[in-house]
Structure 1
Amino acid sequence: MKIESFITGLMMAADFFTKICFLALFLPAFSFASLAESKLLYSYCSNATTLTGNGVYAANINHLFSYLSTNATEHDGFFNTTAGQEPNMVYGLFLCCGDVHPENCRDCINLAAAVAPQLCPNRTWAIIWYEECMLRYSNQSIFSSMAEKPRVDLWHDTNYAPEPERFNRLVGTVMKEIASRASYATLGAKKFATKEATFTVFQTLYSLAQCTPDISSEDCYRCLQDAVRDLLIHSNGNTSGFGLHPSCTVQYQTAPFYNLVFNKTKTAGPPVSPPEKSLLLPPPAPGQFNKILVNK
C-alpha cells in the first residue's frame, strides 16, 4: 500500500508539473494576444532603400525600440531618442493618444515595436499608427520639425450622415476649434484636444486632434488644418474618419472613442491663418474600409 501511495503521489506531482510547464508556455502568448487587441490603423514604410547587408543599422533599430519601450510609461506619452552613431544612427519617437493611460501607452508601443519588423522588414524608416499610439523611426533626424508626408486618410464607409454637407460643416467647425486648442496648449502640456457636438437628436459628433509636442504651435495648427481639409474633401459625409500625418492626427466619429472628461478646461488660442491648399485626389471608391494615401 505504501508503494502504491508513493507511486500515486509521484504521478500526481508529475501531472501538476506538466500543467505548470504548460501555463508557463501559454501565459506569455496570452499576454501578447491581449496586446494584439489594439487596432492597427496603418503602416507606411520606405520603399526606395532597404537595410540589406547593413547589420549595424538593423541592430540600432532594435536598440531604439528597446529605448522607446523602456520610456513608454514616462514623459507624458511622448518620447524621442537616437540609437547608434553616424552614419548608422537611428532617430525614433513615439506619441500616445492624449487620454491613454501610461500602462496602455507602454503596451501599445511594445506591440508597435514587435510588429514593425514584420510590417516594414529591412526598411530605413517607417511609421506605425495604432488607435492608441504612433511609432516612427528614420535614418534622418525627425525631431522638432513638422513632417507633411506621408499622409493617410481612413474611413469606415458603411455609415453616412443624412445631410452630408451639413455634417461636414459641423466637423470642420468643431475641428477648427480643437485644432486651435491643441496647437496653443500651455508650455509642457500635451498638444491634444477633444470636443463633442450635437448633429441630430440621435447623433453626437466626437472629435479629436493631436500633434507631437516637439513642433511649434504654428506648425501644429497648419498640420491639423491640412489633415482636416484632406479628410473632409474625400469623406462624402462619412460619419467616421481618421487623418494620419507623421506630426499630427485627427479623428471624428458619431460614437464615443476617447475619455469624455479629458481636456474640458482648455481654452482656445489665438487664430492662425489657414494654410495654402494643396493638390487633391479624387473621391474614394466604395469599400469596407477605405485607405487612401493622399500624399507620399
Structure 2
Amino acid sequence: MYSLTYNNYYSFLASLPSSSTQLQEPTYIYHVCPNTTTYPENSTYSSNLETLLSSLPSSNTPSFSSGFYSTAAGRSPDVVFGLFLCRGDVLPEICRDCIVFAVNDTLSRCPEEKKSLIWYDECMLRYSDENFFLESSLQNGTNGIILINTQNVTSNQQEIFRDLVLSTMNQAANKAANSTRKFDARKADFTGFEDLYVLVQCIPDLTREDCLSCLQRTINRLPTDKVGARLVVPSCSSRYELYPFTTNSLLEHLFLSWIQLLHHHLV
C-alpha cells in the first residue's frame, strides 16, 4: 500500500517535463448569446464592454487564486455586468490563461450580442446589460447544457451505480454549499476496480440555500445509467465520471501509475 503525501507529490511533479509557456487553449463546452439584444459597433455599450473585458484578465492575483471575479463598467442605460469563474481545482495560472482566451473567444462567437455566457472545462465567462448579480440560482436565463457519455452502465449494476452517484453527489453538494469557495470534488469506490469521481461548484457569492438548491436541481436532472454526465448552468455545475478529471485526481492517478511502473521495473 502506497501513501500519497505532499512530499510524494513534490517528488513526482519534479519528475514531470516542464510545461510550455505557450498559452494552452481551454476545452470549449458551450456558449449562449441570444441575438434579441444587440449593440452597434463604436457605441457606448461597446466601449463599456471593451473596458470590462480588458479588466478581467488584468484583475489582481487574488482573483485568480480564488478563481472568481465580478465587476461592472459604465452607467445606465449602457452599463455592462461581468464575471468569471474558474473550476475550483485549477491552478491560478490556468485560470488566468482560460480567462484571457475566453475574452477573445466570446467576442468572436458573440460579436454584437449584449448578453454572452461561455463555458469551458476550466472556466466560464459571463456578461450582460442586465444585473444578473441580483438573480437567484433559479432565474439564470438558460437551462444550461447537459453533456452525456454515451456508454451505458451494465444493467446489473445500474441500481447500485445510481445510488452511489446520488449519495456521493449530494454529499459533495452539501459540502460545497457550506464552504467559502462553493466547490467540492471527491471520489468513491464503485467496484473495487473502478472509482467514481464527482465535482460540484456554485458561483461563490450565492447563499448556502441558493447554492444547495441549484446543485440539487442539476444533480436530479443528470442521467445515472451512463458512465459519465455533467450539467452546467449559469449559477452552478455538477459532474460525475468513472475516470479522474480534476487536478488532484489526475495527479493521484499519474502518481499511482508511476509507482506501479517503478514497482514493475524493480521486481
Q: Which residue of 1 aligns with 2:147?
A: 154
Identity %: 37
Deviations 1:101-128 (A, max 9, x none): 1111000011111100122221111111
Q: Which residue of 1 aligns with 2:15?
A: none
Q: Does 1:212 align with 2:212?
A: no
Aligned length, in residue pairs = 223
Instruction: From the superposition, tell whether residues 261 and 239 of structure 1 become closer, same or farther in structure 2 (CA, over 3 Å).
Output: closer
Q: Does 1:230 align with 2:221?
A: yes
Q: Does 1:137 align with 2:127?
A: yes
Task: Supply the distance in 2 between the matched residues of 1:107 and 1:250 (Cα, whole angstroms).
Answer: 23
Task: Supply the distance in 2 between the matched residues of 1:208 and 1:165 (Cα, whole angstroms).
Answer: 21
Match of 1:176 among 166, 170, 174: 170
Instruction: From the superposition, tell whether residues 143 and 210 of structure 1 become closer, same or farther in structure 2 (CA, over 3 Å).
Output: same
User: Aligned letter for 1:41?
Assistant: I
Task: Supply the distance in 2 between the matched residues of 1:40 and 1:240 (Cα, whole angstroms).
Answer: 18
Q: Which residue of 2 aligns with 1:52?
A: 40
Match of 2:24 among 35, 42, 54: 35
Larger radius of gyration: 1
Q: Which runs of 5+ in 1 are unaligned?
A: 1-29, 263-296
- Taking structure 2 as the reference length, the TM-score comes to 0.78
Match of 1:116 among 98, 103, 106: 106
Q: Which residue of 2 aligns with 1:7?
A: none
Q: Secondary structure at the match of 1:179?
A: helix
Match of 1:253 among 220, 227, 241: 241
Q: Does 1:66 align with 2:66?
A: no
| Alpha-carbon contact 1:146-1:223 (below 8 Å) kept | no
Task: Supply the distance in 2 between the matched residues of 1:106 and 1:73 (Cα, whole angstroms).
Answer: 9
Task: Supply the distance in 1 between the matched residues of 2:208 and 2:113 (Cα, whole angstroms).
Answer: 31
Task: Supply the distance in 2 between the matched residues of 1:49 and 1:172 (Cα, whole angstroms).
Answer: 39
Instruction: From the superposition, tell whether residues 147 and 123 of structure 1 become closer, same or farther in structure 2 (CA, over 3 Å).
Output: farther
| Alpha-carbon contact 2:188-2:195 (below 8 Å) kept | yes
Deviation of 1:53 after TM superposition, in Å, equals: 5.4
Q: Secondary structure at the match of 2:214?
A: helix
Q: Secondary structure at the match of 1:69?
A: coil
Q: Which runs of 4+ in 1 moved over 2 A?
A: 72-75, 144-149, 163-166, 259-262
Q: Which runs of 5+ in 2 are unaligned?
A: 1-20, 251-267
Q: Which residue of 1 aligns with 2:7?
A: none
| Alpha-carbon contact 1:145-1:214 (below 8 Å) kept | no
Q: Indicate the larger mover: 198-207 or 84-93.
A: 198-207
| Alpha-carbon contact 1:174-1:197 (below 8 Å) kept | yes
Q: How does 1:239-278 map to 2 (within 5 A)?
A: 239-260=227-248
| Alpha-carbon contact 1:144-1:214 (below 8 Å) kept | no
Instruction: From the superposition, tell whether residues 53 and 112 of structure 1 become closer, same or farther in structure 2 (CA, over 3 Å).
Output: closer
Q: Does 1:100 align with 2:68?
A: no
Instruction: From the superposition, tell whether residues 254 and 261 of structure 1 become closer, same or farther in structure 2 (CA, over 3 Å).
Output: closer
Instruction: From the superposition, tell whether residues 251 and 225 of structure 1 become closer, same or farther in structure 2 (CA, over 3 Å).
Output: same
